[in-house]
Structure 1
Amino acid sequence: MLGLATAGFAINFWAWALLSPLAPLLKDELGLSSFSQSLVVAVPVVVGSLGRIPVGALTDRYGGRVMFPLVSAATIVPVLFLGLAGYSSLAALLAGGFVLGVGGTAFAIGVPFVSAWFPPNRRGLAIGIFGAGMGGTAIAALTTVSLADAWSIRAPFVVTAAVLAVYAVVAALLLRDAPGRVRPTESVGRRLAGTLRLSVTWQASALYAVVFGGYVAFSVYLPAYLKTAYGLAQADAARRMAGFVLLAVLMRPVGGWASDRFGPIPVLGWVLAVISGCAVAQAFTPPLLPFGTLQFLAMAAALGAGSGAVFALVALLSPPSAVGSVTGVVGAA
């Protein structure tokens, strides 16, 4: 079940991230301004983040066995729309991107689904492994432009839609919710209101905003920073950014495992100390080799481990029937 859930997360995130690699091409094709280009990339990200709140609550109610195939199938619609007609105008791109945000909600399905399958002392590692599915954004970055150059701009969308369709069928046939899963009977609105009254919701949201927000900020801004601060070529800066992202993804399960062994709170304490120290060191722009490189790698490792530790904390402290709702709110942070 963990493997199927991780695959679903990665595939949906692949679809969710399709527009970002194509943004420069779309800007040239449609004559978009820099603001319009940024808006096209931002719309699915914002919708996907906020959409995790209701999707997490629905997962508590209906389970991952229903929600994974449903969200995967629903994501096919905007992917095909964007690939067949949606790239013809800014309005169509924004409309397609808005619905494409559905793919970004898959994270809020997987955390409660995976958590229910494992005992408390193994949930951190399991959720960390599942969280590595955020590497689906790397699949989009590595394949989208290549497919568009080799065939046409439609190709990456058609390929992704086909993979989503296969996964939706496989998930519907093979996914099973954990035995004894607690199914809440309250309405979605009442459960969300109850979730907002839990202290773990706000504590984990603040922590996740730091660790995952830092990861997102660096994965977006690092190439430009390296080019400006150190004079690196664009290709070299992009490769270093890819290494930063890869290390952060690989460290997410490590953060979950360490949380199982030592507790998520001590792990988060160390993680935040490392992030703070690296940020202070980088403020002085040390030489890139070796100090700057080591500092960036340490920060990537800490941000990835911290993301895994936050959801280990959510799984540990949240009521079993509210893990999805809490995950949705925290994931939106």
Structure 2
Amino acid sequence: MSTTQVRAATPGGRTRSAPGVMLALATIGFAVNFWAWALLSPLATKFTTVLHLSSFQQSLLVAVPVVVGSLGRIPVGALTDRFGGRVMFPLVSLATIVPVLYLGLFGHSSLAAILVGGFFLGIGGTAFAVGVPFVNSWFPPERRGFAVGVFGMGMGGTAISALTTVKLVNAQGMRTPFLITAAVLAVYAVVAWVVLRDAPDRVVPTTPLPARLAGALRLRITWQAAILYAVAFGGYVAFSVYLPAYLKNAYGLTQADAANRMAGFVLLAVLMRPVGGWLSDRVAPTRVLAGALGVVVAGALVQSFTPGLAPLGTAAFLAMAAALGTGSGATFALVAQRAPANQVGSVTGVVGAAGGLGGFVPPLIMGAIYGSYHSYAVGLVLLALVALAALALDLLSVGRRRDVVAA
């Protein structure tokens, strides 16, 4: 497949410090937008009590932002290939301010209002599809796994939300965390516009967006990575949005205690993401993924018996957090190795969408199962089976073939 492309005209050459600065700013932008994206999750139990929501409605409330944040990555990734991260990071950040202010000031008095705000709050989740091609273009192939892994630490923005949102609401009122987040997004948008620069040798495609997306969909690596990321990052997203409700229902923890434990889960997954990328720069990403998925299978099976939190339950959750973070980093190391340079954004959009959608479905299933049976065992067994299927794909297909364009 041939693609018409041009080189980006970026003032100045590539200095030794520029890649590090760009990586740092991209990671901060990812974290800030993910902070906004995750604002509803820590408040789910509060809204459930105040609005008398069912278990399924509670799951829907936290899952809706994930849908837009996932599907929106497809066009946003392709647009980043065309316009670059210097334009797209400020644009996504400014757009996210609107639903943040709406939810904080007006849209939290009914389930319908929250769902509307949550739908548009998903824009913040598309920042991931901006950062991967942006960072990828600044680093040589042998360092991209680690660089994209470091960028992936921005998913720790969900931990910021978990640690601060409930405390701020209890101390200062519902508006406070939303107003603070909106202010931080505005500051970042200005800084990004002034400081961010696209890599001087970035390849800019000139073919239409639909053609580029179609080209990405014809790549085998797009579908392979999408499935793997749906399990790895999807599992992380599912736990990060649903873990507070799970801990409250299964173990009777308070809202604040559950949110703090969720933050610990998120923090470990965040720290392990660059480890997954770093390992993938040294050994095959498929081997790193195999180990990570094996741990997820074991952890989910152990937790399906709802063991005591001290120590077995905590160990199972922390092991899964480490594995999901490692697997997420390894997946995009795989993308960096096998996706064509001028299609990284488009491939990232599709793969990122799969990861987000992988996080959308489990909370709904878990909520529905718990509402019917008052048990999470079936949902966790299903997670183990899905991870086992992904492990088989990794070992029997992805690890045995190089990427080719489908006929």
TM-score, with structure 2 as normaliser: 0.76
CA contact (8 A) 2:162 2:263 kept: no
State which drifts further: 266-275 or 110-119. Answer: 266-275
What secondary structure does 2:87 align onto?
A: helix
Residue by residue over 1:226-249, the C-alpha shift from the partner in whole angstroms, topping out at 9 and shown as x without a partner, is 6677x5644665544432222111
CA distance in 1, matches of 2:76, 2:217: 15
Q: CA deviation at 1:268?
A: 1.3
Query: Is residue 274 of structure 2 the alignment partner of residue 253 of structure 1?
Result: yes
Which residue of 95, 117, 120 corresponds with 1:96?
A: 117
State which drifts further: 145-154 or 118-127. Answer: 145-154
Q: CA deviation at 1:167?
A: 0.4
Matched with 1:24 is: 45
Letter of the 2:206 counterpart: T
CA distance in 1, matches of 2:338, 2:59: 37
Structure 1's 233 and 112: CA in aligned 2 closer, same or farther, altered over 3 A? same
CA distance in 1, matches of 2:111, 2:306: 39
Structure 1's 233 and 158: CA in aligned 2 closer, same or farther, altered over 3 A? closer
Letter of the 1:311 counterpart: F
Q: CA deviation at 1:42?
A: 2.0
Q: CA deviation at 1:39?
A: 2.7
CA distance in 1, matches of 2:308, 2:114: 42
Query: Is residue 155 of structure 2 the alignment partner of residue 109 of structure 1?
Result: no
CA distance in 1, matches of 2:201, 2:55: 51
Query: Is residue 162 of structure 2 the alignment partner of residue 141 of structure 1?
Result: yes
Matched with 1:186 is: 207
CA distance in 2, matches of 1:13, 1:219: 11
What secondary structure does 1:18 align onto?
A: coil
State which drifts further: 148-157 or 170-179. Answer: 148-157
State which drifts further: 161-170 or 216-225. Answer: 216-225
Matched with 1:11 is: 32
Identity of aligned residues (%): 73
Structure 1's 299 and 190: CA in aligned 2 closer, same or farther, altered over 3 A? same
Which residue of 159, 163, 176 corresponds with 2:180?
A: 159
CA distance in 2, matches of 1:191, 1:106: 19
The 5 A counterparts of 1:287-302 are 289-302=310-323
CA distance in 1, matches of 2:316, 2:41: 27
Query: Is residue 334 of structure 2 the alignment partner of residue 313 of structure 1?
Result: yes
Indicate the RMSD between aligned Cα atoms, in angstroms.
2.2
Letter of the 1:212 counterpart: F
CA distance in 2, matches of 1:57, 1:120: 21
CA contact (8 A) 2:28 2:154 kept: yes
Matched with 1:176 is: 197
Letter of the 2:24 counterpart: G
What secondary structure does 2:207 align onto?
A: coil
Which residue of 265, 276, 280 corresponds with 1:244?
A: 265
Matched with 2:14 is: none
Q: CA deviation at 1:85?
A: 1.7
CA distance in 1, matches of 2:75, 2:262: 33
What secondary structure does 2:204 align onto?
A: coil
Matched with 2:294 is: 273
Which residue of 197, 212, 230 corresponds with 1:209?
A: 230
Query: Is residue 143 of structure 2 the alignment partner of residue 122 of structure 1?
Result: yes
Structure 1's 288 and 97: CA in aligned 2 closer, same or farther, altered over 3 A? closer
Q: CA deviation at 1:37?
A: 3.6
Matched with 2:398 is: none
What secondary structure does 1:183 align onto?
A: strand
Structure 1's 291 and 81: CA in aligned 2 closer, same or farther, altered over 3 A? closer
CA distance in 1, matches of 2:337, 2:176: 43
Query: Is residue 219 of structure 2 the alignment partner of residue 198 of structure 1?
Result: yes
Q: CA deviation at 1:34?
A: 4.3
Residue by residue over 1:65-122, the C-alpha shift from the partner in whole angstroms, topping out at 9 and shown as x without a partner, is 0000011011111111222222233333222222111111000000000010000111
CA distance in 2, matches of 1:307, 1:329: 15
Q: CA deviation at 1:267?
A: 1.2
CA distance in 2, matches of 1:283, 1:26: 27
What secondary structure does 2:199 align onto?
A: coil
CA contact (8 A) 2:232 2:327 kept: yes
Query: Is residue 100 of structure 2 the alignment partner of residue 75 of structure 1?
Result: no
Matched with 1:63 is: 84
Residue by residue over 1:25-76, the C-alpha shift from the partner in whole angstroms, topping out at 9 and shown as x without a partner, is 3344445454444333222111111100110010001000000001101111
Task: Answer 1 or 2: which has greater helix percent.
Answer: 1
Q: CA deviation at 1:294?
A: 3.5
Q: CA deviation at 1:150?
A: 2.0
Letter of the 1:265 counterpart: T
Q: Structure 2: give runs of 5+ residues left out of the alignment.
A: 1-21, 355-407
Letter of the 2:222 counterpart: T
Structure 1's 159 and 237: CA in aligned 2 closer, same or farther, altered over 3 A? closer
Q: Structure 1: give runs of 5+ residues left out of the alignment.
A: none
Letter of the 2:324 counterpart: L
Residue by residue over 1:294-328, the C-alpha shift from the partner in whole angstroms, topping out at 9 and shown as x without a partner, is 34332221111110000111111111111111111
TM-score, with structure 1 as normaliser: 0.91
CA distance in 2, matches of 1:87, 1:225: 22
